[in-house]
Structure 1
Amino acid sequence: MDCKREEERWVWLSFDPKHKIILAAHLGDMTQKSSDEIIKQTSEVINENNLPLFVTDGREYYKHSLIKKYSETIQPKTIIINGKLQKPILKPFKELKYAQVIKTKKDGKLKSVKKKIIFGKTEEIDNSKISTTLIERQNLNLRQDNKRLTRKTISYSKKDEWLQKALNLYKSTHNFIKPHHSLKKKNIKKIRNNVWKKYDKITPMMSIGLTDHIWSLKEFLTYPYHKI
């Protein structure tokens, strides 16, 4: 990591608000390079034939990363203007939908929240889905559950390598092992001719259909990944 100081570290997360899946977790500094990396990791686990709505805060890094990943190169018809060679233009895919939630603070207090659509047609984007509330809550859960991110204690992480490993483990336990309180599956049982409706807790990976049960930590740690 090319950070100016040892303590300058940021945890970059991408999150699926529907199934509550942590798609990617990257440790890096606040630079364009780190933004490119989190978008790259996210692109590897989503269906790129049906792009979702991307929503972030107001940082410009994400806009440039998405254009790099989801665009085509267009050469201007007029190649030379005023003796200067015109550079190719990156045109975002028409399927790309991206919006920002821009928060303004003053004296540490939230003053305003603005929703801004960057890519995509306004009529094709549900304004209620332009929100960073769930990822902000997930960031809080991450800090609460991972003592390596606790400040001013002897538990904080001293090495990038081990913090990244801890993030990878946290992402996996969140997705496979820990049921999410907002996810549930209907379970209808019939007892003595009475029908009882019950909801079972499920994990994010069960929600998306990639597994049919809640994994134990032992099952996860002993799973033969090399046979996949």
Structure 2
Amino acid sequence: MNKLALAKRVQILAMLCEGSSMRSISRIADVSINTVGKLLVEAGEACLAIHDETVRNVKASRIQCDEIWSFCYAKQKNVADAKAAPDGAGDVWTWTAIDADTKLMVSYFVGDRSGESAMIVMDDLRARLANRVQLTTDGHKAYLEAVEGAFGADVDYAQLVKLYGSIGGAGPEKRYSPADCTGIKKVRREGNPDIAHVSTSHVERMNLSIRMQNRRFTRLTNAFSKKLDNHIHALALYFAFYNFCRIHKTLRVTPAMAAGITDHLWSLDDIVAKIDAMAPEPKPRGPYRKRENSN
């Protein structure tokens, strides 16, 4: 079975992590776009396994959660009229939970913005934590039942509710400019959260990094994901690279090192090694049979 050289695979993964499009990667690396897509799938599956196996028993103090919007194949309002829309087409929400101190991406989930998705990410977050934490979310109502179901009373939980004003005018600025935040409310929901630390600033900054460094999140372009599975795999690769391979400028170590779940800096070679470890055993080839001469 043909396999790309290690250096070539690392080069492709590095460009994927830096937000390059798949077609530009295929041109720069001089490989087929199908090769890039296949490697993305393999890397995504490997990174999902790395996160599931490694990000466990996390000792944290403050967790911040948020959701970031994108879409697959077509925006939700256009799915009904889209031609051959696949499963998963429409709005896609990425739920994130980050440790405010170590900047570790503790948990994430790709789904819709429903209460069911909130329950999935909260259950996953609870399973990865080693101790009681202070939890802050935005004012999305789906969090209330999800946090109660996952943590019960074993959490100090508050919501940061932002108040927005209307945008005046009828020009292009109304379409492209967000509404002005006119105030915030900090609401205690469970336990005894420290109001001074009720904040979503770190997770919102993380959402900005996701949007800036993942081509699939770029607004007003044709770079959006066409398949939900590829969207999930691209995010899994990005989060593994962020947690384990990239040194945080403020911390001067990776988030995984700051959180104590690894003692060394990873590289993309480690992700390639995981890909190879998860690859199925090659099937034995049948006996060679010499073609008979028909003359």
Shift of the alpha carbon at 1:7? 2.8
Query: Per residue, is there more helix in 1 or in 2?
Result: 2
Question: Which residue of 65, 70, 74 maps to 2:146?
Answer: 65
Q: Which secondary structure does the structure 1 equivalent of 2:147 belong to? A: helix
Shift of the alpha carbon at 1:225? 6.4
Q: Name the residue aligned to 2:112.
A: 29
Is residue 217 of structure 1 aligned with residue 268 of structure 2? yes
In structure 2, give the amino acid aligned to 1:210: I
In structure 2, give the amino acid aligned to 1:136: E
Q: Which secondary structure does the structure 2 equivalent of 1:40 belong to? A: helix
RMSD of equivalent CA atoms: 1.9
CA deviation digits over 1:115-167, x for unaligned, max 9?
Answer: 1110013xxx3222100001000000000010011122232111111111111
Matches within 5 A, 1:13-162: 13-47=96-130, 50-71=131-152, 93=153, 95-107=154-166, 108-121=179-192, 125-162=193-230
Contact 1:27–1:160 (Cα < 8 Å) also in 2? no
| Percent identity between the two aligned chains | 30
Contact 1:99–1:115 (Cα < 8 Å) also in 2? yes
Q: How many correspondences in the alignment?
A: 181
CA–CA distance in structure 1, aligned partners of residues 124 and 216 of structure 2: 23
Q: Which secondary structure does the structure 1 equivalent of 2:91 belong to? A: coil
CA–CA distance in structure 2, aligned partners of residues 109 and 18 of structure 1: 28
Q: Name the residue aligned to 1:167.
A: 235
Shift of the alpha carbon at 1:8? 1.2
Q: Which secondary structure does the structure 2 equivalent of 1:153 belong to? A: coil
CA–CA distance in structure 1, aligned partners of residues 94 and 217 of structure 2: 9
Q: Name the residue aligned to 1:8.
A: 91
In structure 2, give the amino acid aligned to 1:69: A
In structure 2, give the amino acid aligned to 1:101: L
Runs of 5+ in structure 2 lacking a partner?
1-71, 80-88, 167-178, 279-295
Is residue 203 of structure 1 aligned with residue 254 of structure 2? yes
Q: Runs of 4+ in structure 1 displaced over 4 angstroms?
A: none
Query: Per residue, is there more strand in 1 or in 2?
Result: 1
Q: Which secondary structure does the structure 2 equivalent of 1:137 belong to? A: helix
Q: Which secondary structure does the structure 2 equivalent of 1:156 belong to? A: coil
In structure 2, give the amino acid aligned to 1:103: K
TM-score, normalization: structure 1? 0.74
CA deviation digits over 1:28-72, x for unaligned, max 9?
Answer: 11100110111122122111xx2211100011111100111223x
Contact 2:158–2:187 (Cα < 8 Å) also in 1? yes
CA–CA distance in structure 2, aligned partners of residues 158 and 68 of structure 1: 34
Runs of 5+ in structure 1 lacking a partner?
72-92, 184-200
Q: Identify if the C-alpha distance between structure 1 residues 111 and 53 changes in structure 2 by more than 3 Å, giving closer, same or farther.
A: same
CA–CA distance in structure 1, aligned partners of residues 99 and 277 of structure 2: 24
Identify the structure with bigger relative contact order (alpha carbons < 8 Å, sequence gap 6+): 2
In structure 1, give the amino acid aligned to 2:105: I
CA–CA distance in structure 1, aligned partners of residues 227 and 127 of structure 2: 26
Q: Identify if the C-alpha distance between structure 1 residues 57 and 10 changes in structure 2 by more than 3 Å, giving closer, same or farther.
A: same
Contact 1:25–1:167 (Cα < 8 Å) also in 2? no
Contact 2:126–2:151 (Cα < 8 Å) also in 1? no
